Each structure stands twice: as structure tokens, then as C-alpha cells.
């Protein structure tokens, strides 16, 4: 049995297929592997299967001198539940028509497709973003809008899309999008678990700005004052995480959650929640329903 046949038949768990091609964007590909491809026995038997499908024939080289060995080709896209396009080798590089056809067929049968950074140009070439909202790295926004005027390009968000077609901004925003997919498929607690292993904050809302305009804080004035600020910051984070869990698992009011997690009032909780996660408590609760 071939590797691709084994991947498609060994389990009914959802199959995530990441594309690989000559000139692969290593970081974006690594994001897909890190979120979807690592074994996670602590999460039970239902976790994703993961496979890599080649776009090109022959040897595949990735940024940094890496060589890629894949699990199969376009046939893997026929069985995928989610397809990840981890960037594209160059925004001006043509997208193979065979890949466009395979993506259209996969989407038509109900497969979710997501892109990271310049991977949006692959989805655009396949026509899967026409009359939809989409985003990409801020450097490519104008080019995307110029070449594909049927797309509603959203300039300054981390990720955007419907349940079946989603796009992210720059490379790091791909992590936010992939965690959003995990949160959609498995819920808030498991997404937080994955984020914890990545040593990331559990949730950045897709509508957050791509570019950080606020200046980086200056060095703290003394070690003792710095330790105090660290303690206060970490304590708030613990309480925010408890509030986040309560929003997902209980039906009590936001005022009650604020009292239980030590914020004193709903207004205080909203302020710290918006500052930490870029979203209001009620908006997050609505997303999880």
C-alpha cells in the first residue's frame, strides 16, 4: 500500500493536507505542521491526520536549503477535509491549472481551504475568493486587489473568511488562523491547549490590526519594580484565562464572571479582555456558540 493510500484509509479522523512545491515557504509550512501535524495523544483519538501533497514533479526545495519528501500528490486533495496553502513561491509566479482544478473540486465537495500570507494568490487564481473577503500580508494587498478586483480585500486584519475559505495576513498571522480552525473544530479548551504548547496567547481575534503601531515599552526602572510588574501581568493573564473558560463553559452573566475571576465589574473585565485578546467577552462568547 502506498503512503497516500495508507493516509486516506487508516482512520476517519479529519485529514489536513498541506501543499508543498519547489521554492516552498519554510516558515508558513512549519506553521501548518506545528498546529496540525504534531501527534497530540493528550487530546484523545480524534485529532487530525496530516499529510503533505506535492504541487510539482521532482525534487522540492524549501527556503533555507531544506529538501522536502512528500506523502503524495493531487490525489490527497480528493480526500482532504482541510487544505492548507502555506504561502506561494512568488506572488508573480503562475499557479498551475491542475492545482486550480484540484482546489475547485475539493472545495465543491465541501473541503475547507485556508491560505497563509501569499498563499492567497493560489486561492485567487482558482477563483475561490471571488465576491468574498480575503486578506494577505500588507505588502501584497495592493497587488492582490489590482489583479483580482472581484475579491473584497480587507487590508488590516490578521485573518478573515467564512467557514470553508479562510485567508491570513503575514506569516505569524497564519498561526492565529490555524488556531482559529482548531477552535472551530475542537472548541476553546483544546485550542488553548495547543496554544499553550506553542507558548502563545490563546486567542487573537481576526479583526486585530496587522501592524503594531504602539511603541515597545522602555526597560523597567529597577529589577524589583520589574518583578512586581511581571507578577501583576501574569496574575491578570491567569484571571483572563479563567474568564475565557467561563465564557465558553457556563451561561452565567459577564458581570458574574467578572466577580468570580477577581475583576470586580463587567466594565473592568471588558477593558482587560479587549486589551489582551482584542475582542469583547460577549463577542468571544458569541463566536463559541
Catalytic residue numbers read: 117
Residue matched to cell numbers 496554544: 195
Contact call for residues 118 and 91 (beta carbons, < 8 A): yes
What ranges in the chain are assigned the alpha helix state H?
3-9, 26-32, 97-108, 120-125, 141-147, 173-186, 188-197, 223-249, 254-260, 266-277, 281-288
How far is C-alpha 180 from the geometric centre of its chain's CA atoms?
5
Residue matched to cell numbers 473540486: 105
Rg (CA), the chain: 21
C-alpha–C-alpha distance, residues 49 and 69, integer Å:
17
Amino acid at each position: 500500500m502506498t503512503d497516500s493510500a495508507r493516509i486516506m484509509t487508516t482512520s476517519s479522523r479529519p485529514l489536513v493536507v498541506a501543499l508543498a512545491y519547489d521554492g516552498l515557504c519554510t516558515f508558513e509550512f512549519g506553521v501548518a505542521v506545528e498546529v496540525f501535524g504534531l501527534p497530540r495523544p493528550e487530546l484523545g483519538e480524534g485529532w487530525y491526520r496530516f499529510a503533505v501533497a506535492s504541487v510539482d514533479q521532482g525534487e522540492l526545495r524549501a527556503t533555507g536549503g531544506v529538501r522536502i519528501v512528500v506523502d503524495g500528490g493531487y490525489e490527497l486533495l480528493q480526500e482532504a477535509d482541510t487544505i492548507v496553502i502555506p504561502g506561494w513561491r512568488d506572488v508573480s509566479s503562475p499557479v498551475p491549472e491542475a492545482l486550480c482544478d484540484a482546489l475547485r473540486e475539493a472545495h465543491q465537495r465541501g473541503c475547507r481551504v485556508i491560505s497563509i500570507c501569499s498563499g492567497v494568490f493560489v486561492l485567487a487564481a482558482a477563483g475561490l475568493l471571488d465576491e468574498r473577503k480575503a486578506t494577505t500580508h500588507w505588502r501584497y494587498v495592493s497587488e492582490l486587489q489590482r489583479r483580482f478586483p472581484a475579491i473584497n480585500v480587507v487590508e488590516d486584519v490578521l485573518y478573515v473568511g467564512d467557514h470553508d475559505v479562510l485567508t491570513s495576513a503575514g506569516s505569524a498571522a497564519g498561526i492565529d488562523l490555524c488556531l482559529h480552525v482548531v477552535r472551530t473544530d475542537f472548541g476553546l479548551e483544546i485550542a488553548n491547549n495547543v496554544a499553550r504548547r506553542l507558548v502563545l496567547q490563546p486567542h487573537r481575534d481576526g479583526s486585530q490590526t496587522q501592524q503594531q503601531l504602539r511603541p515597545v515599552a522602555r526597560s523597567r526602572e529597577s529589577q524589583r519594580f520589574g518583578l512586581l510588574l511581571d507578577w501583576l501581568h501574569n496574575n491578570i493573564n491567569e484571571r483572563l484565562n479563567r474568564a475565557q473558560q467561563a465564557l465558553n463553559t457556563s451561561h452565567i452573566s459577564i458581570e458574574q464572571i467578572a466577580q468570580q475571576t477577581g475583576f470586580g465589574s463587567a466594565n473592568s473585565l471588558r477593558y482587560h479582555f479587549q486589551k489582551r485578546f482584542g475582542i469583547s467577552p460577549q463577542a468571544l462568547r458569541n463566536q463559541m456558540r
